[in-house]
Amino acid sequence: MQMGQNIWPLERDVLFRPDRLKYVRKLIQQQGCVFCAATKKVAFETLCVYKTKHSMIVLNKFPYNSGHLLVIPLRHCGDLLQLSQEEHYDLHDTLRLAMSALNEVYEPGGMNMGMNIGATGGAGIPDHMHYHVIPRWGGDLNFFPLIAETKVVVESLEQTYQRLSGYFSTTSKS
């Protein structure tokens, strides 16, 4: 490849996911915030594996990969800019802890981390901000979702909860 050569294709394949819109609409119609409900207690029923004074770590009910975590402020808040400084620091310390847990428990080759802000930004739950932390391994994307419209996740939520709750049970709270 020569310097200045365009590496981006002129055309790209697009993966259409009409089922995602159905999922988002269903969540919006539900009464109450699923994340606020998860703040009640650290337990498998809430998928919450860890809680601090201002934030929590929750398993994603619809994971992209095993170990897919959500790091969420306890206060119902739709935007990072609305957090107090104390909440902000606590949330980001908890985010680092989630990454450490995934590194130790799952030993991934890498991670994806990010958030979608607002409904237009793609947030499925737009009024309660949250980070996604997704462990990744070489070859973890396969053809199955394309031909069978199904994502293969190699462990159940119960197994993920057990693996990670063991790590967090030995971790002191902020």
85-106 vs 157-169: helix axis angle to the nearest 10? 110
- pLDDT by position in tens, the chain (length 174): 455 555 555 555 555 666 666 665 665 565 678 898 888 888 999 999 999 999 999 999 988 889 999 999 999 999 999 999 999 999 999 999 999 999 999 999 999 999 998 888 888 888 999 999 999 988 776 555 544 556 677 788 999 999 999 999 887 665
Q: Can you give the CATH number for the domain in which 49 is found?
A: 3.30.428.10
Q: Quote the pTM value.
A: 0.77
Query: Structural domain tally of the chain?
Result: 1
Supply the residues annotated as catalytic. 130
d(C-alpha 158, C-alpha 162), whole Å: 6
Give phi and psi for 131, each to the nearest 5. -90, 140
Residue ranges of E strands in the chain:
48-51, 55-59, 69-73, 110-114, 131-136
In a domain, 14, yes or no: no
SS3 category, 112: strand
In a domain, 78, yes or no: yes
Residue type, 43: A
User: Could you list the residue range(s) of the whole structural domain that residue 83 is in?
Assistant: 34-169
